[in-house]
Structure 1
């Protein structure tokens, strides 16, 4: 049927789709722009899932309705309860009035002007990686997804904890990875079982305090205790240095509300853990896909190399270089369009709503398929083409604000988006000044939709030292 909303005509489709199969395929295949649940002509698809309605919405106007205009009618769905158990209560997992209050307090810490003070901390880890790569000669293979995961964890750790603790994130890196993979397994279960949030919280509390657990749950608890104790140890040490604010942790500890009260230390811990665990994973995957796209689009890569050589030459980058690295930044932004790290946004309707004349009952689940929205030819001409020019200054304003969602959208857009873009531009420029990266012939490249969108088999690449680089 067709439902009219003003001048816009929206097609609403109710296909015969098995909800359990859809949930399974969401993680197994996950990335359909068409098919039973994502028909290319349907902007709203209604499914029945565990006897409850589930809606897939893909028109930017409808997306904007859910994420911005009627955001108070929607909450993060039950899958986020796993992340809350792992990460604690942060801007990523908080809701309602508590989220609004803390976003007002913490948002300025991650604003672009404040990040200039962290830039030098972000440069050092890239220099260390280049020194390591230089030992491998002028041509060698590397697993790019693993390299980007390690590097972004190092960069985040340096920016968060400062130079004196720059190796801390690397030391707990295996625990960070294990924690994220454990959260992915739990999220798959929640997606299919769809239990009440209160039950998930009760189970998480039982896991934290139970003296005896199955091996997998016991391992997960040990992983999280290691991360928790490490972050708490740094916070405790830092309290002995009041007033220090030359890294992100110092900035969080310096936050004060209107009455002069600091953030509770538990909140500082949760924000720091979230920034370290979730922040590095998404950027690492986006960078991995960007290197793959540059390798398969030599014209775009040659333009990037020319820009990097002109702007940086042989010197160390500074924060003021970023505006001049417009094409480099655009390559990262376009990579996130084609392979968005967060490939969907799930929500739960908590107050009954209406989208374009279609009733959304209280308790319904709503999924925004970012991957499909980013490849919709109505909003993106030649959507399968890698075209960084879409994101050059001025051009980015031509698309609907809810047609590009790598950091989410609306009021809950990711507070760390400026950090991620600055980090990615810096890493791309510094690595490209020294090396080019090409695909290993015949190596399979396939996206896998888990908590984030990453290469299923990794990404084997050949690094070649650029002539004249030093």
Structure 2
């Protein structure tokens, strides 16, 4: 059964967005009926909200729809997004998705608000200072160099899974100063269980109240979360005991930094046990998932675009030769940076963001009432032909200094923006550049023919069935 709703075929839906007056409020046009009415339409897929966002693009600058009693607005214009994230950020709080993530991550930097969020950032900030970054850079290159030596010429691999494996090794070293132990595997396994349940948890009304229910998904979630908490808390306790040992080398990793840090600009206190757990899990998920997915998508695009791949490899030869990369090489690897930038434009690991209106507010020509949910999707905005002509094409040259200067701030925002912008953004860029460069010094990839690449938008944007490649030696 298909909907006969006229808004699906009307040419008016493809015109620039207009203002729809509703009492004292002004909303953009959009779906005529409540979203569940469209459950038989192709864009209604709870496992892939990107289909809905793509459909709503036809309304132009912004679009409106309702989910049961809730108003939702999707903003597509960079200036409107800037108003939400920066100019009028005080009028906006976490959306339902972020609140649901709190079920897993607690009050980590992704999910917390207000002073809790600010305190977490203040305590974690020293871990991302340049002196620390230099040490991490050396570790990343050493791990990537060891990783590349494990591949064999001509073997077929799931490159997205390989990048997950690499990123897990890097996260284990930089966050916990350890190899990939059974405990690290356990954290990863339990996080993946929760990730598989992510869309269910977000879509289910009052999920927080149903955590104790006998629903199979909730039982599975409770078991995964319980085991995750046990493992993380155990690792924190063990590291705390090590730190108390006379002569211990403290501060070598992010966890040691968090254990020792105090909020000198605030209450002067250290993180308590629950706060440590929340921040460790947040850093694990953000550092592991984001970079791994960015690298996996980048290999796909290099395999699809041999000319760009040749230029990329030529830069590595010119800048690095046969030696291993260092932190000082990162600014010299300009085309490598553009390759990653273009990859995260087409396949942003963080593919959408949301906020809830805390008090009546005007954004652009619209007047939104308290309680309205607003979304903006990096995946959608970063494919807008207004800012990126022929947006489906892979063109790293879009990220020269001149090209970037010609676009508004929020035409490209893979790590968000405003007061909640990812604190580890510079670390993620450095990790991705050095890991990609180190592996690509020795190898190139050839995509396996006949495979279908599908999106899996959950907390991060994953390839649903992986990316199959043949590993070929360079030269």
CA-atom RMSD in angstroms: 2.5
- Give yes or no for the alignment of 1:30 onto 2:50: yes
CA separation in 2, counterparts of 1:311 and 1:409? 32
1:355 to 338, 363, 369: 363
CA separation in 2, counterparts of 1:201 and 1:34? 29
2:201 to 186, 189, 196: 186
Aligned to 1:203: 210
| Offset, 1:369 | 2.2
Q: Which moved more, 1:123-132 or 1:329-338?
A: 123-132
Deviations 1:320-368 (A, max 9, x none): 1211112112111111101111211122111111112311111111111
**Contact 1:446–1:456 (Cα < 8 Å) also in 2:** yes
Alignment of 1:104-123 (within 5 A): 104-123=122-141
Aligned to 2:35: 19
| Offset, 1:169 | 2.4
Aligned to 1:402: 410
- Give yes or no for the alignment of 1:465 onto 2:473: yes
**Contact 1:72–1:96 (Cα < 8 Å) also in 2:** no
Aligned to 1:71: 89
Alignment of 1:77-116 (within 5 A): 77-116=95-134
Deviations 1:165-191 (A, max 9, x none): 66742354322322221233322x24x
| Offset, 1:214 | 4.5
Counterpart secondary structure, 2:60? coil
1:416 to 424, 428, 445: 424
Alignment of 1:83-232 (within 5 A): 83-133=101-151, 137-163=152-178, 168-187=183-202, 189-190=203-204, 193=205, 195=206, 200-204=207-211, 206=212, 213-232=214-233
| Offset, 1:271 | 0.9
1:426 to 424, 434, 441: 434
CA separation in 2, counterparts of 1:265 and 1:70? 34
Counterpart secondary structure, 1:139? coil
Counterpart secondary structure, 2:392? coil
| Offset, 1:406 | 1.0
CA 1:11–1:33 in 2, change beyond 3 Å: closer, same or farther? same
CA separation in 1, counterparts of 2:285 and 2:223? 16
Deviations 1:67-114 (A, max 9, x none): 111112111211223321112211101012221232233234224553
| Offset, 1:31 | 4.4
| Offset, 1:15 | 3.8
CA 1:263–1:466 in 2, change beyond 3 Å: closer, same or farther? same
CA 1:31–1:96 in 2, change beyond 3 Å: closer, same or farther? same
- Give yes or no for the alignment of 1:277 onto 2:285: yes
Aligned to 2:329: 321
TM-score by length of 2: 0.86
**Structure 2, unaligned stretches of length 5 or more?**
1-16, 20-25
CA separation in 2, counterparts of 1:251 and 1:390? 38
Aligned to 2:11: none
**Contact 2:47–2:199 (Cα < 8 Å) also in 1:** no
**Contact 2:316–2:333 (Cα < 8 Å) also in 1:** yes
CA separation in 2, counterparts of 1:174 and 1:34? 32
CA separation in 2, counterparts of 1:386 and 1:436? 17
CA 1:444–1:57 in 2, change beyond 3 Å: closer, same or farther? same
Aligned to 2:23: none
TM-score by length of 1: 0.87
CA 1:333–1:32 in 2, change beyond 3 Å: closer, same or farther? farther
1:307 to 300, 306, 315: 315
Aligned to 2:64: 46
Counterpart secondary structure, 2:223? helix
CA separation in 2, counterparts of 1:130 and 1:300? 21
- Give yes or no for the alignment of 1:250 onto 2:269: no
